[in-house]
Structure 1
Amino acid sequence: MNPWKCIIVDDEDVDRLMVVSFVKRFPSIEIAGIYKSAAEALAALQKEKIDVLFLDIDMPGGSGLELRQKATQVPACVFITGHAEYAVESFELDTLDFIVKPLRFERFEKAMQRVLQFLEIKEKATLFELSFGGDLITIKEGNEQFKVKLSDILYLEALKDYTLLVTPQKKHCVWSNIGTLLKKEPFDSFVRVHKSFAVQKQFVVKTSAHEITLANQSQIPIGRSYKENLSAIL
């Protein structure tokens, strides 16, 4: 498989070079361009197919948010910025992750795992199927079929047009966005607590102002616009 291509856009030299050094640790990602401005990056995007954007937000001559709005053809986008206040706005633009500077490799690695997982799922999208039967879900992943009990699913995690069904043993992927999935009757026991997460009520053991802890110790973030949904859990 050919490596996926990315571009890096940041007007700060030190931050830009740090992202470059971190990306180079992942052999499945190739750096196709490194730019100081959104205008330079946009010109490059018109010449080459890119799979991932790593974008600063606050830049002279055009923000990273404006660039993302003009580059919706790029499947994956990660914002890396010193301005946490842009987080909510960024997730309205098909953002896979939002990292607040100062950038650390441990946090960047988590974002990369999410990006690579999404790109692999996107490549295999036509291989995923989902069907229901009582308390069982049949999931086709390539040539394999899995029967998963609905009552075993801890939480759902959104990856744009796909959703991960997370059990204590495995993460299963289905080709459906999380909003569509939650409208189906079998998922009535799930509560959406974040743009990217919905938890099954029976597995919640603790809630705080910013996250939910599940029975397997998974910690799920709570989105500001979903806090009112916590009443269904509490």
Structure 2
Amino acid sequence: MPLTCVAIDDEPLALELIHSYVARMPDVQLLGVFEDAISGIEYLDRKNPDLIFLDVNMPDISGIELAKALKEKPMIIFTTAHKQFAFDGFELEAVDYLLKPIDFERFSRAVYKAIDLKKYKANAHAFQDESVIYVHSEYRMIKILLKDVEYIESMEDYVKIHLAYDKSVLTLMSLKKILEILPEQQFRRIHRSYIIPVSRIRSVQNKKIQLSYVLLPIGESYLEQVKGWLGV
């Protein structure tokens, strides 16, 4: 099945460019183009495309506001002449963020990210492997080897996955949400701000857990749970 998409942009030339680029990609089908956000929203209420090419700066409603208002969110590739909205795109888990003028090579790379993500979602059962998880970070799906996870830290609306070799991955997710996709017997929450891999526990003393390379506190509300699964 082709990747279905629509484009919403108040600049006719930008829509013509997207139309011409999509025509060069046999795996992609452009269902419609819209010069105003309201018409685009009305269409999206009736149809469910896989992807939206969405301009950020539009007179009636910004692309950022439109994306936040959508009840059913397809994948989004933001298009804009302004760099300062890239963080908003990251927060909305956009597939990519294209700066105008957009060349075909950069456009096609963004689209193939969306195609890969569609395939991943359609075959999610094939990725049910207790040795890895996938998280969305920096406009792409990142494969995390669970054996490399040192610990996971809450950072307001994000979690930071601390990995071996001083690497880390930041993803827009809560600790509660990431805990749902982690193997229950391998990872445990010990604090409102921390999840740890059980295999990395070296010692427990004075309401603190020593992991391979870091000492973390045990939250008061988690203390009895930790004692329970540690058998102490």
Give yes or no for TM over 0.5.
yes
Number of the residue aligned with 2:65: 66
Instruction: Give the partner amino acid of 1:5.
Output: T
For residues 159 and 127 of structure 1, what CA distance do their matches in structure 2 show? 24
Number of the residue aligned with 1:94: 93
Equivalent positions of 1:104-115 (< 5 A) are 104-115=103-114
Compute the TM-score of the two structures, normalised by the length of structure 2.
0.60
Specify whether residues 162 and 102 from structure 1 end up closer, same or farther in structure 2 by C-alpha distance, changes over 3 A only: closer
Number of the residue aligned with 1:78: 77
Number of the residue aligned with 1:52: 51
For residues 62 and 72 of structure 1, what CA distance do their matches in structure 2 show? 16
Number of the residue aligned with 2:142: 163
Instruction: Give the partner amino acid of 1:106.
Output: E
Number of the residue aligned with 2:126: 127
Instruction: Give the partner amino acid of 1:107.
Output: R
Number of the residue aligned with 2:164: 188
Instruction: Give the partner amino acid of 1:191.
Output: K
TM-superposition CA deviations, 1:106-126 (whole Å, max 9, x none): 111111121111111111012
Instruction: Give the partner amino acid of 1:188.
Output: A
For residues 56 and 46 of structure 1, what CA distance do their matches in structure 2 show? 18
Shift in Å, 1:163: 3.0
For residues 35 and 157 of structure 1, what CA distance do their matches in structure 2 show? 28
Shift in Å, 1:48: 0.9
Shift in Å, 1:162: 5.0
Structure ID, larger Rg: 2
For residues 96 and 56 of structure 2, what CA distance do their matches in structure 1 show? 13
For residues 76 and 190 of structure 1, what CA distance do their matches in structure 2 show? 31
Shift in Å, 1:53: 0.6
For residues 102 and 9 of structure 2, what CA distance do their matches in structure 1 show? 13
Shift in Å, 1:164: 2.9
Instruction: Give the partner amino acid of 1:105.
Output: F
Instruction: Give the partner amino acid of 2:48.
Output: K
Specify whether residues 125 and 30 from structure 1 end up closer, same or farther in structure 2 by C-alpha distance, changes over 3 A only: same
User: Structure 1: which 5+ residue stretches go unaligned?
Assistant: 140-155, 167-178, 197-234
Percent identity between matched residues is 27
